[in-house]
Amino acid sequence: MADTSAEKERSRQAEAARIDIAILSRRELLRRSGIGLLTIGVAPALLAGCGGGDEAAAPKATGTIDFLSFEGYDLPDQTAAWRKENGVEFNSTYIVANEDIPPKLKVGGAAYDLSYYGVGFKDGWAPLGLWLPIDEAKVPNIEKLFPFFKSDVLNAWVDPDGTRTGVPFTWGSVGLTWDDAALPGGLESFYDLLDPKFKDKIGLPDDAPSNFVLAVRMLGYDTTTLTQDQYKEVTDLLRQFVKQAKTVSPGYGDVASLLASGEIVAAFSGWAAINSFAAGAGKDTVKTSIPKEGGYSFADAYMVASTADNADTVLAFINHVLEPEVNAAAADFLVGGVTVEGSVELLSPATASLYSYENIEASFERAPLFKLPPFESDQYVTYQDWLDTWAELKAGA
């Protein structure tokens, strides 16, 4: 007689792998989940002509953009018409992790034009000279950003001296994810996940920065000035979550799959996009919210690489991505938030439901943008410390 439990687990793992592949290849994710360009009713032909005066004020686009970032961040389908109209080609190099970017831009060889940075990496990368200043006059659509994303919050995109270093194009928030069918109304606190009744019923992704940021937030500390005594508290707290979890999932797709199969009922480091991933796997009752301890938000910004030899075309591309129709299509594609005010009404219902835009500043108060710990320090815990400690915690799971 066949081992049905083994077959069930193989089936679940296959589904988790499917979702993880989808996350890594956003075009495939959108194809499978039915979310994307067509769901918001914006056809490529329309995107081709969605510019106008602001696009006309941007530099003339021409030639090739040498791109370095994650697959999908070059928005191949969402900007296809613009590329064709302007005769622009992309030569894309895709990374596996953020840490791949500095050596590629510093070690010579290929001269990249366009790349990206996450807000959390801004301070650590700033001394490395990875980007060129952005002339805002050449990106007039910056004026279409939400005021929050135009601001100099955390000096994430604008240095203290007023120099713009990046242009945010997508964002998201991380908190607590649960299956509302199993837990109607959800949970109020991350600490609720540590209740003995949830032993082996919660998910935990293999995402060291996310898990540490949330644990630091729970204890009320600062990620950039963690002392060794504070770090011990943070590590001890994370160890409890590791022991409580069913498994340390290799990716967010596995978390979504476990929720969809009913093997877990909630997840630490819950990401709103998991809602969509789980729905794609047949579970439409998965929700995400920010608990009383607060969560955190990430935001990703395009930058003009310091090695750029086609900077004007990069600026024209960034300007195009800030067109409301394109920014909305990008958000649907990336399962994320929009940074342009006029994009919200153009989102698919599924993507629009992920975040609240009525008072975006209040949303970021509950889940603020985060900074990583210093990359080097004789006084405080470093980013490498986080990575090393997480490897030890995983090994003891």
pLDDT digits (tens, 9 = 90+) for 48-66: 445 555 666 899 999 999 9
Percent of the chain at pLDDT above 70? 85
Within a domain: residue 365? no
- Type of residue found at 212: F
Q: What is the pLDDT of residue 32?
A: 30
Q: What is the pLDDT of residue 245?
A: 98
165 and 42, same structural domain? yes
More confident residue, 357 or 40: 357
Whole-number Cα distances in Å, 169 to 43, 77, 144, 244, 315: 20, 16, 11, 36, 13
Residue 25 has pLDDT above 70, yes or no: no
Residue 4's pLDDT band, with cuts at 50, 70 and 90, is low
Closest by alpha carbon to 131, among 153, 93, 102?
Answer: 102
Within a domain: residue 1? no
203 and 152, same structural domain? no
Q: What is the 3-state secondary structure (H, E, C) of 289-342?
A: ECCCCCCEEEEEEEEEECCCCCHHHHHHHHHHHCCHHHHHHHHHHHCCECCEHH
Query: Number of folded domains in the chain?
Result: 2
| pTM (2 d.p.) | 0.85
Q: What is the pLDDT of residue 7?
A: 58
176 and 160, same structural domain? no
Q: What is the pLDDT of residue 315?
A: 98
Helices and strands (H and E) in the chain: how many: 17, 9
Residue 43 has pLDDT above 80, yes or no: no
Within a domain: residue 3? no
Domain span holding position 217: 11-28+172-296+371-395
pLDDT tens column, 170-229: 999 999 999 999 999 999 999 999 999 999 999 999 999 999 999 999 999 999 999 999
Q: What is the pLDDT of residue 106?
A: 82
Neighbouring residues of 31: CB distance < 8 A, sequence distance ≥ 6: none
Q: What is the pLDDT of residue 395?
A: 92
Residue 34 has pLDDT above 60, yes or no: no
| CATH number of the domain within which 277 lies | 3.40.190.10
Residue 281 has pLDDT above 90, yes or no: no
Q: What is the pLDDT of residue 225?
A: 98
Q: What is the pLDDT of residue 5?
A: 60
Within a domain: residue 315? yes
pLDDT tens column, 235-280: 999 999 999 999 999 989 899 999 999 999 999 999 999 998 999 8
Within a domain: residue 390? yes
